[in-house]
Amino acid sequence: MLDLAYYLIFSFALYIVGIYCLATKRNLIRLLLGVEMLVNAANINFITFAAYAAPGFVDSLGHSFAAISIGLAGALSAVALAVVVLLYRRYGTLDSDELKQLRG
Amino acid sequence: MQIIDVAPWLCWILPAIGALAALALNKVNRKAMNITVLSTTLLSCIMTLLMVPSLLNNSSIDHALFWFQIAGAQVNAGLLIDALSIIVANVVSFLSLLIMIYSTKYMAEDPSIARFWFFMSLFLSSMLLLVLADNFILMFIGWKLVSLCSFGLIGYYYRDEKEHWIGGPAPFPFQKPSRNGLKALLMTSFGDTALLAGIIILYLYSHTFNFMELIQTAGTWLPAMAATPGILALTCVLLLLGPLAKSAQFPFHEWLPEAMSGPTPVSALIHAATMVKAGVYLIARMLPIFFFAAWVAAPAYPEALTFFIMAGAIGAFTAFLGGTQAMVAKELKKVLAYSTMSAIGYMVLALGISGLSAGSLVAGTSSSIFFLINHGIFKVVLFLCAGVVIHSAGSIYLDHMNLSTKRMRFTLVSMWIGGLALMGVFPLSGFWSKDNVLIACLESGQYAIFAVAMISVVLTAFYVCRMMGLAFHTGTPDGNIHRDEEFRDRKLAEDHAHGEEGHWIEILPYGLLAALTVVIGLVGPLVSEFLSSAFSTYYANMGLEVAAETHTGFLGLSGLGLEVLVAAVSIVMILIGAVPAYFLYIKPTSNPSNLLPQTGIRRTLYNFLWNRWYINAFYNKVFVEPSIWVSKRVQRYIEDPLNQAINGGIPEGFKWLSRGLSRIQTGKLRINMLYLLVTIVIALIVLWLGGFI
Amino acid sequence: MFTLPFDLLLIFTVASPILGWVSPKQYRAKICGVFAAAALVVVGVALFGLYQDVVANAAVYLPSNALNFATLRVDALSIFMTAIFLGLGFAATIYSIAYVENSGRTPFYFTLILALISGMVGIVFAGDLLALYVFWELMSISSYALVAFFKEEGTPIEAGFKFLIMSAAGSATALFGISLIYGLTGTLNFEGLVAALSGATPNAWIYLAAVFVFVGFGVKTAVFPLHTWLPDAYSAASAPISAILSGIVIGPGVYALAKVFFTAFLPIQTAWTLAFAVLAVVTMLIGNITALRQTDLKRMLAYSSIGQVGYMLIGFAAASQLGLTGTFLQFFNHALMKGCAFLCAGAIIYRLGSRDISGMQGVGRKMPLTAFAFAISVAALVGLPPLCGFPGELTLFSSAVQADLTWLGVALLLNSVISAGFYLRIVYVLVQPVSSPAVEKIKESPLLMLIPILALMVLIILFGVWPDPLVNFAGDAANALISLGGNP
Amino acid sequence: MDTAIPSILLQAVIVPLIGALLCAFLGKYLKRNTGWIAAAATIYSTALLAYVAVQLWTQGGQLVETYTWGTIVFQLDFGFLADGLSIPVALAMSIICTAMTVYSINYMDHRIEHLYGKDKPGTYALYYALFLLFPVGLIGGALSTNTIELFLFLESGLFPFYILMDVFGYKDRHRIAMMSFVWTQIGAAVLLIGAVIAGVKAGSFAITSLSVLSGTDLGLLACGLILVGILMKMGTFGFHVWLPLVHAEHPTSIAAVLATIVGFGTYMIARLLFQNMFASFQLFSLPLMILAVVTMFYGAYLTMGQDDVKRLFACSTIGQTAYSILGLASMNAMGVEGGVFYFISHILGKAILFSVAGILVTQTGTRSIKEMGGLAGKMPLTATLCLLGAMILSAIPPLSGFQAEWILFTGVFMQGLTGTAYMILAILALFATFLTAVYTFWPAIRIFFGPTPAGMEKTKEAPLTMTAPLVALAVISVLIGLFPDIIMHFLTSVF
């Protein structure tokens, strides 16, 4: 089994990529992907910690949390996609920078 | 209850009721109003007369009632009845009564006479309160109220119609009655402020406001006061400033000439006979305290002499100052006003004398009070006559008068009696009191003051003769008066036929008083003797026992010899003043304007005197104009910029800040997410720098 | 299953769309609205029963007191928060009945409101971070949908999307932080966290977890600089939703931060109190100063909410029982005041059809009751006694002084003065004489809108004049949290 | 002491509040007569307070009413204390409010008609309902027993103050309303900071527990903050920029009440700092005295330069409140008694003067003194009232100003004897009072004396409801002036 550190580095990296994606990308769908990445970074943490909780055992709490979290992320995505569709209908674009009616 | 317990209270409460009655009855019935006011005045006068018996038995009664409490003490309201207060109260109420009678005719046609009665009655009430009060606080109430009444009466013609202006003629400035009232109020207020400071300092050491207690306990509190050098002198100065302002003494004398814009009875009562004497009264009232400090206490406190030196010097100077100005005045009432200043200068001077040597206390005080009585009487005569004269002549300027000596015989005679008494001609009342003052000067060794007083006698003789001459005998003017339109406008509406004698109701009061002047003159030495004995008992009761009179007299003379000498010298002095005036104005041998070339030293002197020594101008330049200058600029240069900076600037700043900060809200989703990232990064950096991770 | 009130709430939530489908179309809005309102009342009654239990036992656990299971734990704080949620939710629901009358998708609207409230109640009932997160997502998703609900207009959708992305990123960040906590302790139960971490010497991971949790929950709380979604979402959403969002959706964020920081992160308290102090000041300044020159009425109120969040953070900085009392009290009062203000603003906009403040001159003369309630709520927001804003600010200020952070209290008062600058502007515009024909036409708000507005106004005055019961309740709530953290 | 009426102090505070509600609901129907409801409420409060005062006079001691307000988190009693300090102050303020309510009836009629035209019944309800919050705040503030309660009552007048300015004020009223709100709010905030610091550290917000901190470093801080807060509310030099504007542009009936609110700081300093934090407060003697003297002169010169009749009296408030501060700064019983006495006297005078200004504005239609003149013949009663007001301010007996002023200055000179600097300040201050006569009488003369300008011939006397309350105030002032024991009996019992 690999050292815990590698998993953690991976999850942190995933998190950073996700945030970077959110902070730079302008396509609405990509933004959703960025959010998914963030959630998954956390999920990986849960799985990893569950595995490393006690030698030879897997902590069920971490796994269940990850499973629930995936489900919740799915719900989120569903709502988000619905909003994106509505947005596209109204604005005719998927560029987030075009959404600038609200400012100041 | 004895009459002496009630009379003092009634004598000042009655006129107050009269004052209110005047307002209440104004719309109801004028006649009833006049009668009510006169009867309250009469009753008040009777009440003061009822106090005279206790003057004869030299008692000093203090009626005190609980008034109110202050931290750690209480203040009582009481009336003090002693020689000083009885004499002054009688003078006030008697003169008031006569002047009120005179006014019923003089002011009869005035539409707002209720206001006149109100202020006159209130004045009488507060003047009596001032005189009878047994403590500083109660006295001060009367003191301020008389100022207020004076304000109301000087500005009686508040609409400032041209005929009531005073001053001029053009190009010299005219002053309006309303402004003159304010000027009088403010100048006396300035003195009052100082007086109040003095009273308070006195209280802080003595813990009492009561006049009698102040003197009785002086021995215990004076050491504490004298422990700090300067305090006693400061108190002297502060306490004197109030009376000096009230009595129109230098440097506060400037309000009096312009106070003549009030109705003539007002000038007679307030600005000649009574209110201006309040200062003299108060100095006399406070005098024992400082006399005690300067001469009786052991060790003596020489700082207390400040009081007497200041009074003597200022009194003498004002006597001279007033005399010089009266010599050139063009308005009849102003001549009398200047002469009032001068005469009060005499009284103040005499009071100063009384403390300048250990032995002249009684002589100084009694001569001063004697002068006060006499001056009150004959100055009222002069003013009341002046009222009739002005009505008759239809002008306030002496140059315009030239009245008939035939048709106005009563007025002429009365006025001459008053004038001669003012000059101090034997055997009228003024002679005795003036000589007493002069003797007191000599006896206490104050030769400088004596000399100034003597010069003033010359001046008095001159201006009285000039005034009478211009008014009745020749009417030859002495200046090159600009007889332009403005000047002609100043003539009063001619409601009397030119040169007509006054109504008998008007003549009666001043006739009576002129007679009284003669009577007092005839029994002068007796009155003088009576006053000295009254005051020596008065002071003895206070414990101001002074060693037997040790002065050696002047040139080895004393007693009768000295009196004769002084009388002789003063008669000479009167002649020195009167003779030139007689030949210039009464039986003119040359035109007085010939004495005044357009330029030259005499012209300069004339201008100097005419412009009142430039003192008024100086005050205007130094106090009035800068104050106005400053007040106009405070708003523009301090208040407005502050307002701009704070009330305008700070909101502007916030607006600017708000504009700047709202740029954070870009509306771009990417930037928002960047904030999130940055937050995490900064948090990590801070933690790292803090050594936490 | 989840205690009676919560069970009821969930059942009603599920039942409401069904009811909507079966009910006749023309009455649908009214029926659903009344149903939702009635549901909240029933839940409120049930909550009172639960409150008796909590008073008796300090905390009610479900299903058991085991450390490693998802649990609900109901204590005084939970009851306190739930009461606010239900109360303002009820007011907003009543109000909505009038507001959404003409909309086609009425049942969903009320379902979403109930779901939102369920989510929030779940959060405050949660006994561990797992349950908390689950209900957090329930709340979040409902709120996204609600912001974007009236999709006919453009800005709600835009605002909803921005809100969604930011908030979801925040939730994910919080989840990341929670995962780190899990890794550190192996448990998510709050009592377990206290037990596991209280004795431990702080290491880097715990700080790291704190940062992620703070950022995650901070987004929902709208702490500077994570507040940028808030003005958009509040101003674009419909009035009752704005009221709920502003009044109570801040609550779960504050609650979650408090719950985590006063249990798991107590060992590193010294590090975060100062951070909260600084953030409190910056947040309140940003909120209040930016609000100064807003022209959109709802946007101005939205910014002022950010300022209010700053006030609430003072309790964190003070980190004492008094401070938390102040935070919860301020939260309660803010729910009343800002709820009322948003409802009034909604009513005005509903009648006038415009949000521009300068166009509202004279509205107060046409809608006097609404304007009066607005003025009262605004005065309360400034913190004027005897209105309910004052006790909250006083408590917070006292706690700051007590914690030797007087400057923080000074900042609070200074901000309340600054805030007067824009709050009063609204009042001033409303009392102006009528100047435009648009205003000339309008009339007083509909009764159903007026009732919740006036009810809230009365509460604002009532709790201002007689704050003691409320202060004590908030004090109990703070005590519950403090004692959970182990230092009573 | 005890009284026959239960909860008498609570009643005195609550009744105007109930009156306010009545006015709010009935104003629409009663229109201008709403004022009589308001007047009834304030008269009732005044009567109750007068009754308490009489009881206090005869029985001595003090009357305390306590209602529990906060129990657990904060120990707060909602108490009312009537003692020798609070009763005269509360009574005086209540009388002013009563007089101003009656005065308003005609004045506001004119004002509302001028601003909004006829037939705006709602505005009457608004005005009187808000106006009645002033007596609530002022009476309650004077009777408070803890700092939070005091703050509460102080602030309760603030919002009405804002709205009234905004709705009924004169020129530039919106900006000034905002400004006044912010300024007084800042003042209140600073005051609150001090009070809370003291309260938290002393463990109780009761005013008496301030004494726990007296003399400590913390006490000095709290004392300083409270003082600065109060000085801001009192508009001393440096903090005064709001006062002339706010004071001048308010409807005059409110301006009179504002003078009361401004002067109320005197009471607060006496109650909070002098009575309870003396050891800390006395360190402020010299700076406070200097500030007071500067303010007196500044206020005097500022006032002298004014040509606007309302602004004139507004500016004079700056200097006049500084007198009271001077008295308090003298740190002895006489000074404080004088300071509080002067405050009471000043509000009587200022209420008269402001109302006279209001009468002038309503009757002549102009505010500029330059356009006025000779009005004494047209409106003799108003002229008399103006002069009486001027007499109160410039301390001319027999009005109350004189008694207050000499008592005050006795205290100041007592401090003056302790050092040369104090002495110089005392004498300077006394001469500043001389300027009062200049800036009150001079304008009075310009307005009422002299020839009547062309446009003013038709000016008439004001109706009786406007003058009668002022006459009553003047009579009260005369009574106090003649029998200062009416005030001093109470004040000496506490200092």
Domains of chain A by start residue, with CATH: 4-98 (1.10.287.3510)
pLDDT at A51: 84
How far is it, in rounded angstroms, from Cα B242 to Cα B224?
A: 24
DSSP output for C165-199? HHHHHHHHHHHHHHHHHHHHHS--BHHHHHHHHSS
Distance from CA of D197 to the nearest CA of C (A): 6
pLDDT at D41: 93
**D61-73 confidence digits (pLDDT tens):** 888 888 887 766 6
Chains B and A touch (3+ CB pairs under 8 A): yes
Range of the domain at C103: 4-484
Q: Is the pLDDT of residue B452 over 70?
A: yes
Distance from CA of C124 to the nearest CA of D (A): 23
| Residue boundaries of the structural domains of chain D | 8-494
Cα C459–C465–C470 angle (5° rounding)? 65
Chain B within 8 Å of D241 (Cβ-Cβ)? yes
Distance from CA of B206 to the nearest CA of C (A): 49
Q: Which of B654, B672, B683 sits opposite C418 (nearest CB)?
A: B654
Chain B within 8 Å of A19 (Cβ-Cβ)? yes
**C127-185 confidence digits (pLDDT tens):** 888 888 989 999 998 888 888 877 666 678 888 888 888 889 999 999 999 998 888 88
Q: Is the peptide bond before B177 cis (omega within 30 degrees of 0)?
A: no
Q: How many CB pairs under 8 A join B and D?
A: 143
Q: Helix D464-482 crosses helix D333-364 at what angle (to 10 degrees)?
A: 160
Q: Is the pLDDT of residue C380 over 80?
A: yes
Q: Which of B659, B675, B692 sits opposite C228 (nearest CB)?
A: B675
pLDDT at B488: 44
Mean pLDDT of all residues in B38-51: 92
pLDDT at B482: 42
Interfacial B residues in 671-690 facing D (CB < 8 Å): none
Any chains having at least 3 CB pairs less than 8 A from chain A are B, C
For residue B623, give the H/E element and its range: none
Residue D438: list chain B partners with CB under 8 A.
Answer: 186, 627
Closest-approach residue (CA) in chain C for A47: C179
Mean pLDDT of all residues in C207-234: 88
Instruction: Categorize the per-residue pLDDT at B485 as very low, low, confident or very high, splitting at 50, 70 and 90.
Output: very low
Grouping H, G, I as helix, E, B as strand and the rest as coil, residue B363 is helix
Instruction: Categorize the per-residue pLDDT at C103 as very low, low, confident or very high, splitting at 50, 70 and 90.
Output: low
Chain D within 8 Å of C474 (Cβ-Cβ)? yes
**B403-445 confidence digits (pLDDT tens):** 777 778 888 889 999 999 999 888 889 898 888 898 888 888 8
How far is it, in rounded angstroms, from Cα B351 to Cα B440?
A: 10
Is the separation of the CB atoms in B248 and B346 below 8 Å? Answer: no
Mean pLDDT of all residues in D35-51: 92
In this structure, which long-range contacts are made by residues B36-39, counting pairs with CB atoms below 8 Å and at least 24 apart in sequence? B37/B100, B37/B117, B37/B120, B37/B121, B38/B100, B38/B101, B38/B104
Chain C within 8 Å of B655 (Cβ-Cβ)? yes
Residue A35: list chain C partners with CB under 8 A.
Answer: 165, 168-169, 172
Distance from CA of C89 to the nearest CA of D (A): 28
Which tokens sit at D432? 């500043």
Distance from CA of A27 to the nearest CA of C (A): 12
Chain A within 8 Å of C398 (Cβ-Cβ)? no
Chain A within 8 Å of C217 (Cβ-Cβ)? no
Is the separation of the CB atoms in B199 and B209 below 8 Å? Answer: yes
Contact D451 B159 (CB under 8 A): yes
Q: Is the pLDDT of residue A54 over 90?
A: no
Chain D within 8 Å of B227 (Cβ-Cβ)? no
Chain B within 8 Å of C201 (Cβ-Cβ)? no
Query: What are the DSSP E strand ranges found in C288-362?
Result: none
Contact B673 A23 (CB under 8 A): yes
pLDDT at B480: 42
Closest-approach residue (CA) in chain D for B643: D241
Distance from CA of B643 to the nearest CA of D (A): 6
Closest-approach residue (CA) in chain B for D442: B182
Which tokens sit at C488? 């009573």
pLDDT at C7: 81
Provide the domain count of chain C: 1
Is the separation of the CB atoms in D122 and C365 below 8 Å? Answer: yes
As for the ipTM of the complex, it is 0.89
Mean pLDDT of all residues in D169-184: 85
Chain C within 8 Å of D64 (Cβ-Cβ)? no
Contact C474 D73 (CB under 8 A): yes
Chain C within 8 Å of D116 (Cβ-Cβ)? yes
Contact A19 B676 (CB under 8 A): yes
Contact A22 C165 (CB under 8 A): yes
**B224-236 confidence digits (pLDDT tens):** 888 888 889 999 9
- Choose from A8, A12, A22, A84 for mutation: most chain B CBs within 10 A: A22
How far is it, in rounded angstroms, from Cα B54 to Cα B41?
A: 21
Mean pLDDT of all residues in C20-29: 77
Please give the single-letter amino acid code of residue C133: Y
Distance from CA of B685 to the nearest CA of A (A): 16
From B148, B130, B118, select the one nearest B18 (Cα to Cα): B118
Instruction: Categorize the per-residue pLDDT at B494 as very low, low, confident or very high, splitting at 50, 70 and 90.
Output: very low
Distance from CA of B339 to the nearest CA of D (A): 29
Distance from CA of B637 to the nearest CA of A (A): 39
Mean pLDDT of chain D: 89
The percentage of chain C sitting over the pLDDT mark of 90, rounded to a whole number, equals: 11
Residue C133: list chain A partners with CB under 8 A.
Answer: 65, 68-69, 72
Contact D489 B68 (CB under 8 A): yes
Q: Which of B69, B155, B630 sits opposite D485 (nearest CB)?
A: B69
Chain D within 8 Å of B635 (Cβ-Cβ)? yes
Which tokens sit at C440? 């000339």
Instruction: Categorize the per-residue pLDDT at C70 as very low, low, confident or very high, splitting at 50, 70 and 90.
Output: low
Instruction: Categorize the per-residue pLDDT at B309 as very low, low, confident or very high, splitting at 50, 70 and 90.
Output: very high
Chains A and D touch (3+ CB pairs under 8 A): no
Mean pLDDT of all residues in D192-220: 86
Distance from CA of B660 to the nearest CA of A (A): 10
Chain D within 8 Å of C412 (Cβ-Cβ)? no
Q: Which of B669, B680, B692 sits opposite C271 (nearest CB)?
A: B692
Chain B within 8 Å of A99 (Cβ-Cβ)? yes
Is the separation of the CB atoms in B15 and B128 below 8 Å? Answer: yes
pLDDT at C151: 63
**Who has greater pLDDT, D44 or C386?**
D44
Is the separation of the CB atoms in C297 and C320 below 8 Å? Answer: no
Q: Is the pLDDT of residue B552 over 70?
A: no
pLDDT at D474: 94
Contact A90 C157 (CB under 8 A): yes
DSSP output for B440-480? HHHHTT-HHHHHHHHHHHHHHHHHHHHHHIIIII-----S-
pLDDT at B375: 92
Contact C228 B692 (CB under 8 A): no
Contact C365 D186 (CB under 8 A): no
Contact A61 C188 (CB under 8 A): yes
In this structure, which long-range contacts are made by residues B558-567, counting pairs with CB atoms below 8 Å and at least 24 apart in sequence? B558/B443, B562/B439, B562/B442, B562/B443, B563/B435, B563/B439, B566/B435, B566/B438, B566/B439, B566/B442, B567/B426, B567/B431, B567/B435
